[in-house]
Structure 1
Amino acid sequence: MPADAMRAVGRRIAATRRARRLTQDELARAAHISPSMLRKIEQGKRFPSDDTLDAIAAALRVDPSRLVSGRLNVDSRVRDALPVMSSAIAAYDLPGDCPVRPLKVLQEKVWSAANWRLSSQYLQIARQLPPLLTELACAFHDARPEHRAELAELLVSAYRSADAVAFKFGAHDLSARLIELMRWAAPHAESPIVSASVAYVRTETFFVARAHRPGLVALERAIDAVPPPRDASSVAARGALHMRAAVIAGRADAADAARTHLAEAGRLAQRVREGVYAGTAFGPDSVHIHEVSVAVSLGRDHVQRALDVARRWTPPLSMPAERRSGFYIELARAQLWAGLADDAFESLKTARQIAPQHTREHRWAREDAGTLRRLKRAEAQSLTTFAEWIGAV
């Protein structure tokens, strides 16, 4: 490992540790490594192994990709784990005999995976979720009747976390299989809110196939099936589906439908606080982000709407990293279309800072970085470095 790369990793670990207000001894203890090893890593005298890097990242509550420079082997480690994930779901209905931990432990593990998804920590999901998927399947099939609904809901959430990795890393066949498993498990959860969350995620398959109008029909049917918006959960479930419908309507060039769904999402958002409901962020801030998404989906003639939103509002730090980085990626596209190349590059760099794996695997971010590099060949090396990092060259 080159000395510069080792020093860069050490500096990132030290900076993140200080931001978390941890001493070296405290971080070493949390990561189960010796203080002397941590000191050498932070000083750039030693490069951590994959397991050590994962342990340090977990103790700092960040994805390992935040601590390494360049692509290194983070992406390859995620992709190497995808076949393991595929194997874990192959026998979902024939899980066999396997040890199962108490329900409370399974809940905590599934919630951790959901938090990793929302913060774009895909390596954590890829490495740790496959055995949990097998265990959950065993638990569900062996459960007492009174526990089956809750275990089905845990399965849906776990499949959704796995799907986030498959979808973001281009394994669309695996993603489609995971979504079908979500649709299989959802009825067993006996919750229309869970079913609504599955309908929200299923839209990915329509995006991939560019089947935007059928996707809009599917979402509108899902909206009709959601309970009347009487409490926060049902309001958020309906509102999230309207947000998703607005975006896919924009992709279908159905501007009136996009505006109608976005307006309804905005009306519902006024009835709840911004938060994560059934695994999906919803509230006034999420609707602002979808204003940009819809404008970009409708095409170049609508970019001013996206720019206007960005002038008066930016995503608060309390929002999930994946959603915040998505805002800046879509804003970058609007800025590029508007001829604001420098602003577009700043937005892409912000997206990278928020969620590096999400940004690196986003097709639009890669395309726009390549376009910026072609438009500004004479500019500073930083643009070329960014394009190389994201794989646009």
Structure 2
Amino acid sequence: MPATSPGPVGRRIAYYRSVARPKMTQQQLADRAGVALGTVRKIERGERGVTDGTLDAIAAALGVDPARLLADRERVATRIRDALPTLSAAIAAYDVPDDGPVRPLSELRASVAQITAWRLSAQYLQIARRVPDLLAELARASFSAPSENDQQVAELLVTAYRAADAVAYKHGARDLSARLIELMRWATPGADDPLLAATVGYVRTEVFFAARAHKAGLRALEAAIDACPPPVDAGAVAARGALHMRAAVIAGRAGQGDAANAHLTEARTLGDQADEGVYQGTAFGPDSVRIHEVSVAVSLGNDHVQRAFDVAREWKPPADLPAERRSGFYIELARAQLWGGLADDAFESLKVARRIAPQHTREHSWVREDAATLRRLKRADAESLTSFAEWCHAD
């Protein structure tokens, strides 16, 4: 596999090694990564590049996403795109998996929890590297597991499909994303869990966003809300609240302001009953609802930007929220600021989004559109704005 250019990647490796807790020596890094000490030394001194395999091993030893070590963000996107055919092949064989080993249920559960954590922190390269093999193994498990484990395996399969969908959707593979969502819907009845079904209804909205079929998406979400269990415990409160949050956004995109506000009000009421957290793989709570207030304002159009400004003036997403959700807040705020004539503020918001979740920000279509607009509006601010626009492939 091609090697990185020496220099920046070595400096990043040395930095993350120095801030590890406890601090890691070069020898310890070499031992944990399974590479020679001399290789680590040469990489950190900028005397040699790093192959994909070595980079992945070092990143795993450091406990960071390989994308954090790369200066060449295009290479991250290329590696993810190159992994999509393997993912597509894995799901093509969902009902006729290849023979192979199947780990105990506890180990499968731990692997699914890990890729869910990567999804929430927008580490799409990590998911792309691991999820095809995991999906194949879970498909084998679904055929070979004892009957008493059927529901648990089905739940793990749905959750893994969701992580794979995040990669496909964020990187523009919308047909693959739609296939993954249909597989989520196919596997969900086997889990016999109405809260998981509500989660799938939440994720399914991506199909409607991609097709700009907002009215149909709103109908689908309202049907999912009707089917959701009553909010008698934390899980049900969060499931119903998340559906209302998403219904508010898609209602705004459909131009239905009254419906958007009604769903947002329901989400806010439910959010006040829940501690902020991740439920069934979806963040929900008062902070998530505040972020969706900005989303709804942007969805309703530039006549509603003051509403987004009012939220942002008094509140910022706390650091313990999932990175993807926090970066999404700043991406949406940047659009509102651009519409409100605050070009400098919009650029600052986009830079914050990039610091929080670079992969999520780089692949977001609004970031590209807004960076291109900012470059046209501020031709005199050449270097940093042009660099950002080129980084996210803005036209």
Distance in structure 1 (CA, Å) of the matches to 2:327 and 2:297? 17
Partner of 1:214: 216
Q: Give SS of 1:281's match.
A: strand
1:116 pairs with 2:118: yes
Distance in structure 2 (CA, Å) of the matches to 1:145 and 1:322? 36
Question: Residues 170, 18 of structure 1: CA spacing in aligned structure 2 closer, same or farther, 3 A cutoff?
Answer: same
Partner of 1:175: 177
Q: Which runs of 5+ in 2 are unaligned?
A: none
The Cα offsets for residues 65-91 of structure 1, whole Å up to 9 and x where unpaired, read as 222113241111110110110100112
Partner of 2:288: 286
Contact 2:264 2:293 in 1 (8 A): yes
Q: Give SS of 1:276's match.
A: strand
Q: What's the offset of the Cα at 1:5?
A: 5.7
Contact 1:266 1:287 in 2 (8 A): yes
Distance in structure 2 (CA, Å) of the matches to 1:170 and 1:305? 30
Pick the aligned partner of 1:329 from 323, 328, 331: 331
Q: Give SS of 1:6's match.
A: coil
Distance in structure 2 (CA, Å) of the matches to 1:27 and 1:264? 50
Pick the aligned partner of 1:203 from 185, 205, 208: 205
The Cα offsets for residues 147-191 of structure 1, whole Å up to 9 and x where unpaired, read as 000000000000000000000111111100000000000010000
Contact 2:5 2:48 in 1 (8 A): no
Partner of 1:150: 152
Contact 2:33 2:58 in 1 (8 A): yes
1:354 pairs with 2:359: no
Q: TM-score normalised to the size of structure 1?
A: 0.96
The Cα offsets for residues 279-300 of structure 1, whole Å up to 9 and x where unpaired, read as 0001111111111111111110
The Cα offsets for residues 360-393 of structure 1, whole Å up to 9 and x where unpaired, read as 1000001111111111111141111111111114
Report the aligned-residue RMSD: 1.5
Q: Give SS of 1:266's match.
A: helix
Q: TM-score normalised to the size of structure 2?
A: 0.96
Aligned residues: 390
Distance in structure 2 (CA, Å) of the matches to 1:182 and 1:199? 10
Q: Which runs of 5+ in 1 are unaligned?
A: none
Q: What's the offset of the Cα at 1:54?
A: 1.3
Distance in structure 2 (CA, Å) of the matches to 1:367 and 1:107? 39
Partner of 2:14: 14
Distance in structure 1 (CA, Å) of the matches to 2:41 and 2:208? 49
Superposed, 1:240-389 pairs within 5 Å as 240-389=242-391
Q: Give SS of 1:348's match.
A: helix
Partner of 1:23: 24
Distance in structure 2 (CA, Å) of the matches to 1:356 and 1:60? 18
| Aligned residue type for 1:23 | M
Q: What's the offset of the Cα at 1:273?
A: 1.1
Q: What's the offset of the Cα at 1:345?
A: 0.8
Identity of aligned residues (%): 67
Q: What's the offset of the Cα at 1:101?
A: 1.0
Partner of 1:79: 81
